[in-house]
Structure formats: structure tokens, C-alpha cells
Structure 1
Amino acid sequence: MEPVRRAVRLPRPARPVALGLTVALLLAGCVGGKEQSTPSDDGSDSPDQGTTVDPSLGLDAFYGQTLGWEDCGSGYECTTVQAPLDWDDPTAGAIELAVKRSPATGSADERLGSLLVNPGGPGASGVDFLSSVVDYVVGDDVLAAYDIVGFDPRGVAGSSPVDCGDDETIDAFFTTDFPMESQADVEAARERARAFGEACLAATGPVLGEVDTVSAARDMDLIRAVLGDDKLSYLGFSYGTFLGATYADLYPENVGRLVLDGALDPSMSNDDLVVGQAIGFENALRAYVEDCQQDDACPLKGTLDQGLARVAQLVADAEASPLPAGSGAEVNGTLAWYGIVVTLYDDGSWPYLTMALDEAINSGTGSTLLELANFYLDRTPDGSYTANSMVAFQAINCLDYPMVVRDYDEMVAFADQVAAVAPTFGRDFAMAIGCETWPFPATGERRPITAEGAAPILVVGTTGDPATPYEWAVALADQLASAELLTWEGEGHTAYGRGGSCVSDVVETYLLEGELPAGGASC
């Protein structure tokens, strides 16, 4: 058994909307800082902030709060919802949830209420995601009928966020190469993870132990209620499908129209997720290499297997001798891996992977790989993190997924199993360390979700999805008692907003009319 090169973080099943466009702007150096103005609705200097909840009064106080909406620019409105810190003890304190909406454009008789949206992650900001949904995903009829509402789940961005310290601390944990070649290396990795978890607890406080998906789903019901909706209509991508399915299981009587695109199978263990994603990204990389090699300018020469081996060798070489990336920056094995993986979420981004590989292979430099890795990490060229998505991902998953603790020999044996079905990067997926010494034990229960009694639900799966493989969408649709499956035969992560009219027609007919294709549909 050959040793595994390093412990790397698993790809998050996030949704990079319009990734090709975003990466093009990023590589051109055109991405500026975000600006947001927050004048009050009435133009006064002190806008109404809504009701301040007294947690000692229990859940009724939270559900009875009044929202104070503010104009936050470009036609959007923003507010804050107070939620229980601990849903099992609502009197224990409150947290804040950031909420943003795009008001329905139609007349009063056209409106259907609110449509909550979640981009996945876990750890991605629904507030930041909202403009992408409005501009690139939903059609005009949906915009006319619904207030489109983005929210940051607890622990994420503007919602009582997880904090793990300064940028240097975060960078050291997520981007440093750590060889995994002995039991001593495993113990060192666990100690590193323990110290990182303690730093997160010190900086975040008790909310770190309350960012599980069940609590976030309960927050969604609170948001539904304070928005004035009798039923929840919801559009969830990737991890957002698990959040939506969890909601349906907790509150089947409150389910309106739920679209779950790029589905997670809620019954999967952490090992199941590792194997599934390793296969998914292996297949996506194979599809990329096959496509690349149709062009004589492709830097991956030879057969398909030789092209795959060249990609793997590039990452190994970057670990042994990091690639210069300009201004003193370097690309090590982990950053090279991130830069490759992020382009596999969307086949529209494959040309940027070709650019990065051509530079690295033929020029020996890694500036494009670094730009791509920074995009994945929500990191600027100077090493500053623009969002807390990486640390929120860690905190949420550590509560949601119980882990099997293995010694080095057991880890390598598992890595060999994964590599047998995903030869290129399977070992990297299998050797991840991160949650075994987390300050809070996992509370999630991995089991099928049926949501008995819920209204009809639409599950969407993409046959070439690397991050949430198609089989997971099939599994979720089979589990949910009232679901139908829409299949898109395409490449990349998720379908709505990417799959053209064959997908949008089905999704939007369901959102507007409540009609699902009997027996599912495929296009």
C-alpha cells in the first residue's frame, strides 16, 4: 500500500452559480469589493429594526416578532430575524439571522408569497446568493409571483457567524500540505484539528455547537412564519436539498412547493459521502480530459489515462516543489487540488482549467491555479478571506456527520478502497482529518427521510454532477413519500439555471402551478 500524500479537505457540495462568468471576471482582475447601502424605508436616520425578542418568553415570542425591513440597494430589502440559540431550550438566548428579499414584481392577485432560497455549502450565504438567483436562475413569471428571499443559515456570514480566528490561522488549517505517511502523521493531524476546533470555540462561543442542520431547518420555519406565509415554498441547491428535506420531515404540514436540486442522500454516512464524491469528481475529471484532448492545444497529451495521470502528477509535483505564482506567492499540492476541483462544478469552466494546466505544465508557474483556488476558498490574492464559508462548512458538517475513527493502517485500507473506484484523487478524499477532535460531538442521525404527509416535492438530479452524484437524487426522490424526480442529462453541479428550458419549464410550472410530471421527467 503506497502512503497517501496529504490530508485534504473534501469538496463542499456548494453551488457556484454562473461560475464560468465569475471565473472569467476573476481571472481578468475585475472583481471588486461588495458594497451595500442600507437606508431606512422611510428615509429616517434610525429605521425600525423590528421587535426585540425576550427569549425568556419562549417560542411564542420568537414566532410573534415583527420584522423591520430596510432598503438595502438595487431594489432589495433586508432585515434580521431573531431565533433561539438552542431550539431545545428557547429560553437559553437568541441569535440573529440575516434575511434579504427581492419583492415580487407582479400585481397583488399574481403573488404567491415568499420563495426561500439556499445555495448549499454548507456554509454558503443565501443573502449573497440572492442576486444570482434573481439575475440568472428564476424566470420572470416566478419573479412576478414570489418575494425571493435569501437567508444566511445560522453560523454563516451575517447570521451569528462561526469564527475560527485570523486569516493566518484559517489558511494554515485549510491550505497547508501535511503528508500522511505514518501513525505519527495521523496523530499530528488530529492534534492540529483539535487546536483549530478550540480556536473556533474560543472565537465563536456556544453557537458553535448549535449550527446543525436540524436547527437551521427549524429556523426556516420561523422565517416562514414571521414572513406571514402559511406554507414554505423553497428552492434549495446541493446541501440546501438536505436542509429542505429535513424541513419537510420536521414540518410536513407546512410544506408548500419545495424544489431540491443537486440532492444529497440524507441516509449517507460520512464514508458514503467520501466514496460518492470521489467517484463523482473522478467521472467529471475524465469527462473534462476527454473533452480537452479533442483539441490539439490541450496540454494533456496521450491517452485518457495518461491525461488523468498527468493531472495527478502535477498535484504531486506541486506538493514536492510548489509552483511560483507571482508576487512571492506559491501553489502547493493542496492549492493545486482546489484549483482543479473548483472548475469541475461547471463544464462552462473547463476552459479555465485548460488555461491553468497549460500554464503549470508548459511554463512551470501556477498563477491561474492560484486564482481558481482563491475562488474556491473565498480568498483574495493577499490571503484575506472574504467569507466564513470554509469554517462554517467545517462546523456544520462536524455536527451533521458522525465519523469513523481509524488508525493509519485502517485509513490507508479505506483509501485503497476509494482509490479502486476513483484512481486519480481517491486517496486524497479518503484521508481527510477534521471532525474527530471537534469540540462538540456529532448530533446528526444519518437515516432516510420520508416526510410523510408533505405536499408534492420536486427533486432534480444531473447525470454528470460531481459534487452530488445523480444516484443521490434518485435515492432522495425514492425516500420522500411525495417526491417526483426531474433528470437532466448534463455535466456539472445542479441543473436549474444551467439546464435550459427543459429544466426551467418543469421547475417553474411546479413553482407557479404546483404541477409535477407524473412519473418524473428526463431531458
Structure 2
Amino acid sequence: MPRTTHRTHRLGALLVPLALVLITACSAGPSERPAVAYRGSEQQVPPAAAAPKPAPVPPLGPPPRGSLNWRECTEQTRLDIGVPTLPEGMTFSCSRLLTDLSPPGSPGSGTARISLLGVGSGSVPLVVVNDIRGVPGTTFAARLALKLPPEMLATFRIIGVDRRGSGRSDPAECIPPAEREAIVGFDPQATDRTAVDRLLDSVRSASQECLLELEQRAQAYDTWRTAADLEELRIELGVPHLHAIGRGEGSRVLTTYAQRYPASVGRMALDGAPDPTLDAIGRAKKQARAAEKTFDAFADQCGTDGSCPLGPDPRKTVEDLIERTRAAPLPGADSPVTAGELVRAILLGLAAPERWGELVRALEAADRGDGTGIARMVSPLVHGDATHPPGLDSRIITRCNDTTLRVPPQRGTDIAAEWVDRFPLFGGTFAQRLIQCSLWPVPQRSLPTPDSPTLPPIPVVATATDPLTPALSSTRMADQLAAGITVNWQGTGHGALGRSRCVTTNISRFLVHGTLPAENTACPA
């Protein structure tokens, strides 16, 4: 800060008159006013310092010089993604990354093993990060590769990452099976304190068992440390910048990475993103509203030609089905199918329009009293399979480690009552997600807000009808970034890359050539 006195008076300055010393001593000190100058009779105030500018689009950079050991895993991957044949010449390879576990309060206390999958003939690594609530990142990357233009696969080596606790990475499998089934199958319309207390009993048992089973690892499954895994991956790959795609909640991993390692940020694209300005309650409420909107789109498509198997009013059919299932669970292949499982299966199906036919058939069968199709859709969440652990465990643990908000039981009951009334199909299920974290330890930090002013441009895709990352949430993420660019898709489902030709073309041009989409690019459905 400028000062009105520009010299410090020393004790040896004996020739300075005492009066001047006293006057100066009274007036010395920092000024709160900006330095000014005068030209004639006009006061001149210097302009404020210019704000930092966003960085330019990073170059692709040199080929990697990393030391990861890769093994061929084409047939195993083909079976994982469930396709009869692969495009000619497409192969997959798998690897493992060892990173620092780094749980809270215990730095350097062990390692975490992260599973990787590579596909594509290009030399430049492009990392793909999926939602923790979706399929494992390696599976998602393999499926995405089947839908990307040849130029992407010729330029990049696409690397899918199974986030901590998911897929073939060190699993977070710790919730007792009975409690897992109770949480997933819990009544989606429960609004009274007695019912919420029953859910809390299951949550308490699940939390205690995970903290005992995982010990210090339990609080190390979070987005903050997953961002550190990506930096370790960049170092192991031997590249100066991390080029990456984030999908949905996986986008928060990339924005957290960008805040922690801004000098390492390469070309990044976010395919849907949570609103970084909202707390957990605000985000869940928006998701409940978006899921209702997505169901309406599903119902409209089903009834387009008047031959929908769910009748002329699919919403009423499903609401009646849920109410009947609350009273009497549906027969399933191994165990009865509850109303909670029914609603979760619908949510899983809505996120992927390519599964809407499967969802219609499962709901039609359920309406006839056969819950087998519903049980099949929700099984990965509850039971997992031979290669992947049950999905519920990593979802709850990561979500609870990523937020400091804890909803007390009475507040949870009030939210459930309000949301069931406002969002009749999905409000209760999203309210229960808040309750699931009630008894989990509060993390030491919240996720950082992506506000670095020098980040390079980052396109953010906003899908008009997305049940998990609503369009407005993605738009707000773009607004929060230093140079966020919104690409709007007027389509339906979770994620547009590989589904919309327009979106895929715009994002591919950016990643391959560094050509930025125009702000607010509009892509038709």
C-alpha cells in the first residue's frame, strides 16, 4: 500500500527538527486510498490491474514416455461390454496404477490400486472419468470408443479409469448384504419418522461395518483423492498435460483436478456436470425434478403411436404399480422385488435411452406381476457380478465423503414429505440419499469451487432432459469456469457424447484440433 511518508526516521537523524519528527510520526502509516496524481486541476486515478486472462487451448504435446505395463485384454473387455463382435482392428489393453492411499490424517499410509483400460491407435493419452454411480470407468470408456469418430481413435489412446472403490480397482465392498438390500429396497414413499428411523438403522449398520472393514481406507474414497490419482497417472504416462473427458458427476473430478493442478490441465471436456454452487440438498432436489421431467419424455416416446405397452397414461400405470408393490412386493427370480428396487430400476433405465425398450418390457412384466426384469436391472447395484463389486457401496461412500452436509433425522423426514408431494415418482428416493450420509463421519474439506481465473477453455455439454445432471446445473458449471463454453443438446438421457452426432463432432474437433465450439452451440435432439 502507498504511504504518505516515504522515508523511515532513524534515531541518528539528529538534525531533523523535533516538530517535524512529531508531525511525521503522527501521519505515518498505510493509506487506504489509491495513489493519485494531478494534471492541472484534474485528479488522475490509475486504472485497476487487469484481471488474469484464461490460458489458451493447451497443445496436445509429445508422445508419452511412461512406464505403465499394459497387457492385452480384448476378449475380456468384449464380454464386459456385451457386444458380439468388435470393429475390425479394435483392441483393448489393461493396466494397474499404484497411487498413494492418503486417508485423512495419515499421509503416505499405503497404496491404492487403480484399474485402467486403453483403446485407440493414437499416441496422445485421453483419460475418461465416469460417474461413481454409473458403470465402471473402464467399461464406460470401452463403450464410448465404439461411438467415437475414427479421428479420435487415431489421435488418442483413450484411457478409462475405474475410480477408487469401483470396478476392478480396490473395491469398497463393505455393506452387509442384508443392509444393502434394505437400503436399495426401502419404501420410496416413506414420509413418517418411524419409517425414516428404520432406514437410519440400516444406514447405521452399513456405516459401522464399512468403517470397521475398510479402516483407514474408508475416508480415502473421494473426489479430492481421485483427482490426485489422475495427477499420478499423468506422471506415470510421462506427459506434460492431462487431456480428459468427464461425464456427469465425474466432471467434478476434473474440475477438482484443475483447481489442484492448474499447470497440468490439458484439453478437457465435461459431458454434463453438477451445479458447483449448490449444497447436497439443492443438488438432490434438482435431480428429483429432472428425473420427473425425464420420465415424462420417456412416457411421451412410449405413447407416440398409441401402442405403448404401459397404456395411454404410462405415468399413472407406473404410479399405480409402485403403490401396489409397496403393499405386496413382486415375485422375482431369487427374492421379492420391492417398490424401492422398482423406482431405482426406473432411474437406471431413464439415464440411458438405449435401454428404454428394456425398461418398458420390465415395467410391463412387473405390471403383470413378474419382477424378474426389474431385478435384473437393479442387480449391479445390489449384488454386483463376477468381476465388479456391488455398486451401492462405492456410491454411498464417495457421496458422503464429498459433502460436509449432514441431515438430522427430523429434517430428513421433513424433506422426504415435501419431495414425495412435489416429485411423486422420485422425490422420496432422492431424499433418502441425503439420509444415507447422516451417520457417516464428516470429511475435513469440501470440494473446491472451480474458480481459477487462468484455466484454459473447457466445453461443458448441457443435455436438455438429463435425470442426473440437469441442463441448468451444467450451464452453471460453465459459468463458474474461467472460460467455460456451453454446448446445448436438446436431447434426453445422461450424457450426450457418443449419442448426439452434433455434440460428438464439436467435442472431437476441440480435443483433436483445439477448435473451440461457439458459445451456446445448439445441437438438435
Please state which band the TM-score falls in when normalised by the shorter chain. 0.7 to 0.9
Distance 2:186 2:431 in 1: 17
- Match for residue 310 of structure 1 among 317, 326, 330: 317
Output the amino acid matched with 1:364.
Answer: G
| Partner in structure 2 of residue 512 of structure 1 | 512
SS at match of 1:334: helix
Query: Which residue is equivalent to 1:395?
Result: 397
Q: What pairs with 1:190-229 in structure 2 (closer than 5 Å)? A: 190-229=200-239
Q: 1:476 aligns to what SS in structure 2? A: helix
Map 1:266-277 → 2, pairs under 5 A:
266-277=276-287
- Are residues 1:491 and 2:492 paired? yes
- Is 2:219–2:401's contact at 8 Å kept on the other side of the alignment? yes
Of 136, 139, 145, the match for 1:134 = 145
Aligned-partner residue type, residue 77 of structure 1:
S
Following superposition of structure 1 onto structure 2, how do residues 53-68 of structure 1 map, counting pairs within 5 Å?
66-68=67-69
- Superposed CA deviations along residues 364-413 of structure 1, whole A, max 9, x for unmatched, are 22222222222555646xxx8943422011110011123342343x4343
When the two chains are superposed, the root-mean-square deviation of aligned CA atoms in Å is: 2.6
How do 1:236-315 and structure 2 match up within 5 A? 236-301=246-311, 307-315=314-322
Is this contact kept in 1: 2:191–2:414, CA < 8 A? no
Cα deviation, 1:63-112, whole Å, max 9, x if unaligned, reads: x994333333453333222211117754322222222222x425xxxx4x
Report what 2:13 is aligned to.
Answer: none
Quote the Cα distance in structure 2 between the aligned partners of 1:465 and 1:351: 18
Distance, in Å, in 2 between the alignment partners of 1:503 and 1:181 is 41
**Cα deviations across residues 110-152 of structure 1 (Å, max 9, x unaligned)?**
x4x210011212474222333212223x221111111111122
The CA deviation string for residues 446-479 of structure 1, in whole angstroms up to 9 with x for no partner, is: 5642232122111111111111110111000000
Q: Using the TM superposition, give the Cα deviation of residue 168 of structure 1 relative to its aligned residue in structure 2, in angstroms.
A: 4.5
Q: In the TM superposition, what is the alpha-carbon distance from 1:161 to its structure 2 partner?
A: 2.0
Query: Alignment partner of 2:126: what SS?
Result: strand
Is 1:320 aligned to residue 331 of structure 2?
no
CA distance in 1 between counterparts of 2:311 and 2:70 reads 57
The 1-side partners of 2:514 and 2:382 are apart by 38
Q: Secondary structure at the match of 2:362?
A: helix
1:369/1:191 Cα in 2 relative to 1: closer, same or farther (>3 Å)?
closer
Give the alignment of 1:329-344 within 5 angstroms.
329-344=335-350
- Which residue in 1 is equivalent to 2:84? none
Query: Which whole-Å CA distance do the structure 2 matches of 1:507 and 1:71 have between them?
Result: 29
> Does the CA contact (< 8 Å) of 1:253 and 1:453 recur in 2?
no
8 Å CA contact 1:245–1:451 kept in 2: the answer is no
Q: Give the alignment's TM-score, normalised by structure 2.
A: 0.78
Change (3 A) 1:65 1:447: closer
How far apart in 1 are the matches of 2:209 and 2:162?
22
The equivalent position to 1:76 in structure 2, one of 89, 92, 95, is: 92
* Contact 1:400 1:443 (C-alpha < 8 Å) held by counterparts: no
Q: 1:371 is matched with which residue?
A: 376
Structure with greater contact order relative to length (CA < 8 Å, sep ≥ 6): 1
Counterpart CA distance in 2 for 1:217 and 1:437 is: 25
Give how far 1:165 is off.
Answer: 5.1
Aligned ranges for residues 473-488 of structure 1 at < 5 Å? 473-488=474-489
Q: CA separation in 1, counterparts of 2:409 and 2:68?
A: 51
Matched, 1:234 2:239: no
Does the CA-based 8 Å contact 1:309-1:424 persist in structure 2? no
Distance between the aligned counterparts of 2:192 and 2:248, measured in 1? 35
Q: After the TM superposition, which residues 113-128 of structure 1 pair with which residues of structure 2 at under 5 Å, given as runs?
A: 113-122=124-133, 124-128=135-139
Q: Is the 8 A contact 1:105 1:145 kept in 2?
A: yes
Tell me, in whole angstroms, the C-alpha distance in 2 between the residues paired with 1:171 and 1:282.
Answer: 24
TM-aligned CA deviation for residue 179 of structure 1:
7.7
2:458 equivalent in structure 1: 457
Is the CA contact (8 Å cut-off) linking 1:249 and 1:449 kept in structure 2?
Answer: yes
Structure 1: distance between partners of 2:74 and 2:298: 40
Is residue 151 of structure 1 aligned with residue 152 of structure 2? no
Paired amino acid for 2:113: E
Kindly tell me the number of residue pairs found equivalent between the two proteins: 442
Per-residue CA deviation, residues 181-219 of structure 1 (Å, 9 max, x unaligned), is: 543433332232121112112222311111111111011
Which one-letter code corresponds to 1:471 in the other structure?
A: L
Deviations 1:29-81 (A, max 9, x none): xxxxxxxxxxxxxxxxxxxxxxxxxxxxxxxxxxx994333333453333222
Pair 1:359 & 2:368 matched: no
Shift of the 244–368 alpha-carbon distance from structure 1 to 2, 3 Å rule, reads: same
CA distance 1:222–1:205, change in 2 (3 Å):
same
Distance in structure 1 (CA, Å) of the matches to 2:414 and 2:337: 29
Q: Which moved more, 1:248-257 or 1:287-296?
A: 287-296
Q: Secondary structure at the match of 2:146?
A: helix
CA contact (8 A) 2:132 2:166 kept: no
Output the CA distance in 1 between the equivalents of 2:74 and 2:466: 35
Q: Which has the larger radius of gyration?
A: 2
Residue 349 of structure 1 corresponds to: 355
265-274 or 153-162: bigger deviation: 153-162
Question: In the alignment, which residue of structure 2 is the partner of 1:503?
Answer: 503
Deviation above 6 Å: which 4+ runs of structure 1? none
CA contact (8 A) 1:418 1:427 kept: yes
Stretches of structure 1 that go unaligned for 5 or more consecutive residues are: 1-63
Gaps of 5+ in 2: 1-64, 76-90
Give a deviation string over 1:465-520, Cα, whole Å, max 9, x none.
111110111000000002111111101111010012x1111011001111112323
Q: Percent of aligned positions with the same letter in both sequences?
A: 27
The 1:175/1:153 distance shift into structure 2, 3 A limit, reads: same
**TM-score of the pair, normalised by structure 1:** 0.78
